[in-house]
Structure 1
């Protein structure tokens, strides 16, 4: 063997060694993050104490305006809305808004208004179009009419426990302790991790349920526990209107002063240009005002509804395409933190470094991974997965893991999404514009054929 071949062999060996070490370090890091999420879920969600605000006098607690934008007869709508009427909090108003006076949701709303005459609740009819986002358009009027500074915005497919509001206000108003060096940043957003339940046992609904209640929740809780950046889903968010009126969605640091710009340049109205207005509002408070977020010990119970297999696939595609334009680096590394791709990386690394055969490593990896995911499920649900549902749940979980990489590969090639029957092109920071019907780039062509969105106010979560 000549000297050139020897050098090439040594270089190739060093490269494989380096990649194997990096792969094992990456594997350990992702496992550490997952275990942080699992431990935080155990600590946070397995103990939900009653808030003292629940039994306080109305004069001693801050008022809260609950805003619920509605459109049509969503899955479980009656129970979802009734959970707002039943909140154990002495001072709140409930504003239920629809864009159209003939909206079918109004029949459910009126029935609840009759059933709970003692609750300060009313209907707001008519939207103000300030952007492409119909949820924001539907929220503008109740947002302006709300009597209180603290706002709790809940999607129509969400139900919550009676003590949820009181516990959320506890967190929002928690004093900021000071350390020896710098004061801890004030909490500006209190949010709730979604906990899905499939009341219609279609394949897509079961896969969505398995995803949201395990891997998604685990990583969402871990990221918010580490608090390295804003990561908020808009299904159930509590924040102050006075904070929102100081941000403009630029994500550039602002002076801590009131809104001194022209009308319409700050506040809720400026987020109508985003599809993921929930994430952008939270990110704006984080980056522009240097404030922080916190999770409550309650969950947002998400009724999945009649979701087909392809509904699930297109929903994931939409998430990824929006995230690609908001957090590109995190989106690009996403496949490498999924169970199957990560196991392949670790198996190759261990085989090269210490000779562990994949057939020995992989069963251990998958067994431990699903055990952690099921533990997260138990923490959120308050009980272990029922034995009767165990194998169907594990089957749905397996399908989700197998689909993760193919869905990601398809999604990153496109920039268009279909949302509520209309096609949009996703731009920087998740802004959108209406897309033409003709195909341009390969990504746009692949984006064609998107099915109409299933949920009326389905959020585009950023995890």
Structure 2
């Protein structure tokens, strides 16, 4: 009986310590985010002497915001860059959209590559392969077609690329669009996701996403080129891991990656999150244990028991206080990420926050039921270590 008490005591102390550590990370994300996202770097040399940048733009299909998103890359305030539009399918209607922009901005160095090159299982890498090989600059920015770029963002990313930095990435966020689904995207990416993203970057832990990342091409070439990473579906994670293993640091830009896809809804958001959970599980199996207990509701229940055991507090009161404090910290954090007032009401934030916290444990559970991943009309079987094999595809990308 006595040994059982010691076991429960140890478990309660461990859970309470984990709860305290989580709130430390929450506060750290707010402080670091406030410093990072409001800190605009200035060049120490004339901007004309900054290195040139090749922007790889994989494009597939047309959505209502494609033209708007791509056009922002023609008005970037940076002295020397080229845009390489990569389109796999020669029948893709996106070709006409890109051609119209190329003709509209003849002074911008831009090229269109159609057809891609099969170098592995990853369709995005296959799409970019020819553009990557034709790049004339050593700095490579991989940017998804759904990203809306601010004029100063590329300059900021280049200024973060110090000698000891191998990769600069933009933290995912979302543009303000119509409807509650858009609010849900903002709430997820500026609370739960932002907390882990900012704290991971603070400790130089790999959290980079490939939707907008600036990288050193010569280091990628030393590792076998972009094609070496085509065996992975999450090529962004393994590219970042490669830089870390070679002694380089990762840095997050002061500008967020503004996702502006034309098709968005809560079910689509949950499908993306489920796919990302599957990838995280395959790449870092420890997340199977740590991710569920890091959620607000699960952690609140565990801590309610721990504090009632250790301090004889009422469990229900502890849980309610826990949820309230978590909610307030998330509200502060999303204000930091947004850089001011939210584009929706406090009530809408409350409703969206509750939906996110209640449904996300279900996202985690669904990610463990099926190892297959569906991505842009392709199906993949995910293996441990993040390697994938394509099962079949309906069209190329």
Q: Separation in 2 of the partners of 1:193 and 1:350?
A: 35
The aligned runs of 1:163-174 (5 Å cut-off) are: 163-172=152-161, 174=162
Q: Is the 8 A contact 2:29 2:199 kept in 1?
A: yes
Q: Separation in 2 of the partners of 1:318 and 1:161?
A: 28
Q: How far did residue 202 of structure 1 move? A: 5.5
Q: Separation in 1 of the partners of 2:373 and 2:169?
A: 26
What is residue 77 of structure 2 aligned with on the other side? Answer: 88
Matched, 1:341 2:264: no
Q: Is the 8 A contact 2:42 2:159 kept in 1?
A: no
Note the residue ranges of structure 2 that are not aligned, 5 or more in a row.
none
Q: Separation in 1 of the partners of 2:17 and 2:327?
A: 21
Secondary structure at the counterpart of residue 170 of structure 2: strand
Matched, 1:416 2:393: no
Q: Separation in 1 of the partners of 2:262 and 2:186?
A: 10
Q: How many residues align?
A: 397
Out of 324, 329, 332, which is 2:281 matched to? Answer: 324
What is residue 216 of structure 1 aligned with on the other side? Answer: 193
Structure 1 residues 101 and 435, CA, compared in 2 at 3 Å: closer, same or farther? closer
Matched, 1:191 2:169: yes
Q: Separation in 2 of the partners of 1:210 and 1:141?
A: 37
What is residue 290 of structure 1 aligned with on the other side? Answer: 247
Note the residue ranges of structure 1 that are not aligned, 5 or more in a row.
1-7, 176-185, 248-265, 438-451, 458-463
Q: Is the 8 A contact 2:41 2:159 kept in 1?
A: no
Matched, 1:120 2:109: yes
What is residue 229 of structure 2 aligned with on the other side? Answer: 271
Q: Which runs of 4+ in 1 moved over 6 A?
A: none
Q: How far did residue 116 of structure 1 move? A: 1.8
Normalised to the residue count of structure 1, the TM-score between the two structures is: 0.81
Normalised to the residue count of structure 2, the TM-score between the two structures is: 0.94
What does the per-residue CA deviation read over 1:54-100, in whole Å, with 9 as the maximum and x for residues that have no partner? x733xx22111111110111352122111211111111111111112
Q: How far did residue 46 of structure 1 move? A: 2.3
Q: Is the 8 A contact 1:46 1:380 kept in 2?
A: no
What is residue 243 of structure 1 aligned with on the other side? Answer: 219
What does the per-residue CA deviation read over 1:251-288, in whole Å, with 9 as the maximum and x for residues that have no partner? xxxxxxxxxxxxxxx1101111211111111111212x
The aligned runs of 1:407-446 (5 Å cut-off) are: 407-435=363-391
Q: Is the 8 A contact 2:378 2:392 kept in 1?
A: no
Q: How far did residue 52 of structure 1 move? A: 6.2
What does the per-residue CA deviation read over 1:202-246, in whole Å, with 9 as the maximum and x for residues that have no partner? 64x44333211211012101111012x322111100011101012
Q: Separation in 2 of the partners of 1:158 and 1:51?
A: 25
